[in-house]
Amino acid sequence: MVDFWKRRDEHREMLSHFLATQQPLVMLEESRGNLGDGLIREGMHHLLEHTGLAYETVTDDLRLADSASKTLLLRGGGGYDQLFHAYFPAVVLRAAPLYRQVVILPASYDPSEPIVKQCLEQPNVFAMAREMQSFMSLAPFGRRLAALDCAIYHRRFTPQAAASAAGDGMLLVLRGDKGSPLVAKSLKPNPMLNDDIGATASDVNDWLSRIDSARTIVTDRMHVAVAAILLGKKVVMVNPYDNKMPSYRAFTFGESFSERIEERTVEWLAAEGLAVPLIA
């Protein structure tokens, strides 16, 4: 079994070497999404700190002197998938004529969406995938790399934290947005038990602390599961709307931490009283 921490170090070095070839670097600063996306942003910053490479930042107006000689870095996440593609593909299409290259850090993709396909077709766009289902979908575009999600580079995630058994009780974190897998089954999260911390926590530190305070996490949110795994929790994962969580887990963790991870279904949530009938 490949040790996760060794693999993380190898991928971090691979990304460091790749980014070194792309200088000068510019990073888009944005605050879209929930606090799981904030974990990706902070992990991206921690990755760049590790590389020691200098970089500028730019807001989403993308205006920067001499941009034609520079590489724009966009954080990864779910911003190129079937439901949540309203912002990032449009940024790519605006940025491609302005920058020498646009690099999308590890993300999930659904090129069946026309605007996602259009942004990936730009000749100076280089896309990284955070799981193999998305990596295979990038094959027609040529410029691709499979790499671990930047969220795992958050400095709070250490071997010592992952070995911890601290915490008490269960934290139920089920999404309440359009990505919920419950609606198709006429269900909703049990409102007496659910805490969708991506919406209720004050910031990423609070979000992580809430996860760290529990012993068991039940969730259909990918980055809640990632953080819980790397903070030493027992994790019950329910596959969300895009069916990419098993692909993400297999690519990111392999068999590491498998003794603490269970994969369950929406039906299991209902049987356990964690999901209840959706009443119009």
- Domains belonging to the chain, first-starting first, are 4-153 (3.40.50), 160-277 (3.40.50)
Residue 165 has pLDDT above 90, yes or no: no
Strands 275-277 and 187-189: antiparallel
Task: Tell me phi and psi for residue 144, to 5 degrees.
Answer: -150, 160
What angle in degrees, to the nearest 10, is found between the helix axes of 222-230 and 35-51?
Answer: 50
Predicted confidence band at 164 (pLDDT cuts at 50, 70, 90)? confident
CA gap 254, 174 in Å, rounded: 24
Peptide bond into 24 cis (omega under 30): yes
Amino acid identity, position 141: F
Q: pLDDT value at position 241?
A: 73
Residue 199 has pLDDT above 90, yes or no: no
Contact assessment for residue 81 and residue 51, using Cβ atoms and an 8 Å cutoff = no
142-146 CB contacts, 8 Å cutoff, 24+ apart: 145/18, 146/251
Residue 67 has pLDDT above 90, yes or no: yes
* Residue that the structure tokens 């580079």 belong to: 153
Helix (H) or strand (E) holding 234, with range, is: strand 234-238
Predicted confidence band at 97 (pLDDT cuts at 50, 70, 90)? very high
Peptide bond into 97 cis (omega under 30): no
Q: pLDDT value at position 1?
A: 53
